[in-house]
Amino acid sequence: MKNIACILAACLAAGCYEDKGHYDYVEINEVTIGGLPSQTTITLVDTARFFPELTFANPADTAGFTFLWRENSHDISTELNLAYVPTYINNNITLELYVKDRHGIAYRATTSVRVDSPYKYGFALLAEKEGKTAFHFLGRSNETGRYTPYLDMFAADPLGAGPLALATSTVNSLDEIIIFQQSGSLSLNGQNLERAVLLSDEFSGGAYPAGVNIISGYYNMGVDALLGDDGNLYVRVNPVSGVLHATYFMNMPHYFARPGTRVGRIIPTHPYTFSLWTHDEGNNRLLAITSETYPGNNNIATMGAELTINEGAAPAGFTSVNNMGADRLVYAADHRALNTQNITNLRNILKKTDGSYEVQSFTVSRSGLNLTMSAWIQQPFAGNGLVTDNTPYALRSDGKYIFFAVGGKLYSVEFRVINGIEQQFLQEVHDFGTDITLLTRADNSIDPDVGGEALGVALATGKFCIIMVTDPVLLDPTNAWQNGKVFESAANLGRIVSVLWKYGGSNSRFTNDSW
Amino acid sequence: MKRYLLPIAALLLAIAACQRDHITVYDADNYVHFARRFVDSSSFSFVSYPTDNEYNYPVVVSLIGKAANRDRAYNVDVIDNYTTAPAANYALPATFAIKANAVADTFYVKLVKTPDLQSGSIRLALRVSGSDELLVGETERTVFVLWYTDRITRPSWWDSTMESAFLGRYSDSKYRLFIQVTGVGDMTGMEYYDKRYYTLIFKNWLREQAAAGHTVYEDDNFTVMSVALIGG
């Protein structure tokens, strides 16, 4: 009984304890961090800029907040807005933003930056300088759209001699540039533009076919074709996707049924045409083979097969592409509408026997091993009287403009359909004051909002210029150079032989970005 | 004294246990037998060697025992009542020996191709027997059986993909011609490039024959021989 009483007394005493703790309640001003993109893509020469937007639970009390940006556990800035300058190439750099209030409560948000090589996108220039092959690259900044020149990249370790042409091979986010030259062709790694593979090693046995020099080529992803100086194509069918150099080129000529076939040029067309086009100068005709992106089980036997061009009910006066007769093919290029497949649109410039020039346009759609032609148009070219046999041309990717050069003058011909009839409108774009030797488009799909792309212009003085040939620029020809000029090099690049737009990978080859 | 007796005895025993034990080496008889077991008969086809009328087929025998510093003879005989190959279709070496310092030997049986081999297989059975220096080894390795033929049959690598994408429908005539033209009889495990390469060689040869007025037909003398590969 005594014990129970003691216990009860102790419990009662405990209930009288005074709580002497200190509790200062404060209102938490919660912060929401917005305005950060999930990913930003820049090149190594760019700056990524971030402008976070903070939303406070109590907007009247925004004092006392501190900011901290971190990259890989390193503090990089204590400002809210960040100008991030990358120092390395990486597909996924995570940047963290911490917003901390005066009580020490921190709020966190992240954003990702992909840093591409400065060589990822841009113009590759092949030139001859002091008897040697020279290579220059104009890297395009994602941030500013400007070009950074990397000139004479192999001056200390020459590539070779006798430059001929450029090509590019693309697989997903990988690519290479192939340099064709008399002294032996090779490819450059697309990330760092270092030597990658000798073209001779791409043949079984490590050598070109006997007695043949490879002078150009086109890599169409499913089927790659090299052109020999013997007028033959040497083809490889890529058996798998996602891999460069997956297999060898055949060291035997690609067979074509018509006797006398001699390929004079390869006509680059977009991979989504699923066909690879050439001009057979032996028979003066267009010649195409299949080229799906990659073979599946149901087309492995037909990859590279010759396609039959069914010209259908072409109108009178339309030069047959299966037999061009006395007409001479001066220029051929493709254009495409967005998101089309198995469709090829070509614009050709033909020289007639009377010395005049005509422009021929048509569409072919592919089904199996057959190409069916439609939308035939052939008419005198608006550049008649100006163009010659040596005129350089370039077709804008949407086919709306064809550019050509006479001397130092750059002209455009706009194709515009009025009342169902395609008409041509000629205008002078700019006088560069010195002979233009090459024109090259930044070959890509057209963004309908921008309507146009960059045009590369090579001059006889060894200078290279880039002008945006967008609709707004071309509609104001008087000020086209002023409004459209993007880049102008010094006149020391050598004799420019070939210019190529570098996609940076097949992913961007199929996007709608305009250059 | 009694209390020291046990430790002393233990010490003596321990001393006695610490003797050097010489490692013995094999010191028994030496045996010879075929490296391959009897149940695993071997096979050979002249189809893959269309231009050869003879072939030296290797047979390996193994030594069970110690290598010696001299050649040691053994014997190999044909088992007549288990051999269907006529004497004209084979020839054995005159002598057999495990060479000095060797633990195996390879001898070669010369196989001879005759026309009758195109219609079937023949069997050669060999038995190894010992000598004064070498005894016969494991029972299941004392006999070697070799089947050989010149009859062509569809190889396992000529599968549905080969049929649909490369060489097309199989026929004995096509296979024999393919081997003659390309020199390749086995495309097992070949990479895509090689399959395409050899198919194109054969395809080009067929084209050349047709262009020269010697169109090649299948055995029905009506169907033009062709391949499935179209591109190239």
Partners of A228 in beta bridges: A214
Query: pLDDT digits over A112-153, tens only?
Result: 999 989 999 899 999 999 999 999 999 988 778 888 999 999
Q: Is B165 on the interface with A (CB under 8 A)?
A: yes
Per-residue pLDDT at A515 exceeds 80: no
Measure the CA angle with vertex A274, ends A271 and A279; round to 5°.
Answer: 90
Q: Which residues of A touch B165 (CB under 8 A)?
A: 297, 300-301
Q: Do B232 and A235 touch (CB under 8 A)?
A: yes
Q: Which SS3 state, helix, strand or coil, does residue B172 take? A: helix
- Position A469 scores a pLDDT of 92
Nearest to A247 among B193, B203, B228 (CB): B193
Overall average pLDDT of the A370-376 stretch = 94
Q: What is the rounded CA–CA span in Å between residue B152 and residue A483?
A: 75
Report the residue of chain B nearest A254, measured CA to CA: B232
**Domains, chain B:** 31-149 (2.60.40.1740), 153-232 (no CATH)
On chain B, the residues whose CB falls within 8 A of the CB of A297 are 161, 165
Distances (CA, A) of B201 to A68, A228, A254, B27, B213: 67, 19, 11, 60, 19
Mean pLDDT of chain A: 89
Using one digit for the tens of pLDDT, what is the confidence trace for A252-296?
A: 999 999 999 999 999 998 888 889 999 999 999 999 999 876 656
pLDDT exceeds 60 at position A445: no
pLDDT for position B39: 80
B5 has pLDDT over 80:
no
CA A510 vs. chain centroid, Å, equals: 8
Greater confidence, A13 or A336? A336
A218-246 residue pLDDT tens: 998 789 999 999 999 999 988 777 788 88
Q: Which two tokens stand for residue A270?
A: 């977009």
Token reading at B136: 């016969």
Q: How far is CA A103 from CA A21, A29, A32, in A?
A: 19, 10, 16
**Chain A CA closest to residue B208:** A255
Looking at this protein, which amino acid is placed at residue A82? L
B160/chain A closest Cα distance in angstroms: 11
Q: Would the pLDDT of A6 be above 70?
A: no
CB < 8 Å to B204, chain A: 252, 255
Question: Is the CB of A304 less than 8 angstroms away from the CB of B231?
Answer: yes
The total of other beta-carbon atoms located within 10 Å of residue B113's CB is 18
pLDDT band with cut points at 50, 70 and 90 for residue B73: very high
Q: Do B165 and A305 touch (CB under 8 A)?
A: no
Tell me: ipTM over 0.90: no
**Chain B residue with minimum CA distance to A237:** B193
Q: Which residue of A has its CA nearest to B203?
A: A255
**CB neighbour list of residue B130: distance below 8 Å, 6 or more residues apart:** B31, B32, B74, B75, B136
CA B83, B89, B94, B97 torsion-angle sign:
negative
Is residue A62 very low, low, confident or very high in pLDDT (cuts 50, 70, 90)?
confident
**Nearest CA-CA partner of B126 in B74, B76, B66:** B76
Query: CB A204 to CB B197 under 8 A?
Result: yes
Q: Check residue A453 and give its pLDDT.
A: 85
Sketch out chain A's domains with CATH numbers.
31-116 (2.60.40.10)
Measured CA to CA, the distance from residue B163 to residue B158 in angstroms comes to: 7
pLDDT of amino acid A446: 44
Calculate the alpha carbon distances from B230 to A249, A304, A305, B200 in Å: 17, 8, 6, 9
Query: pLDDT tens-digit profile of B95-118?
Result: 999 999 999 999 999 999 999 998
- 3-state SS of A186-209 is EEEECCCCCEEEEHHHHECCCCCC
> What is the pLDDT at residue A443?
67
> What is the distance between the alpha carbons of residues A395 and A301, in angstroms, rounded to a whole number?
34
Question: Which of A125, A117, A206, A113 lies closest to A166, judged by CA?
Answer: A125
Closest B-chain CA to A225: B232
pLDDT for B21 equals 63
Chain A residues closer than 8 Å to B231 by CB = 223, 235, 237, 289-290, 301-306
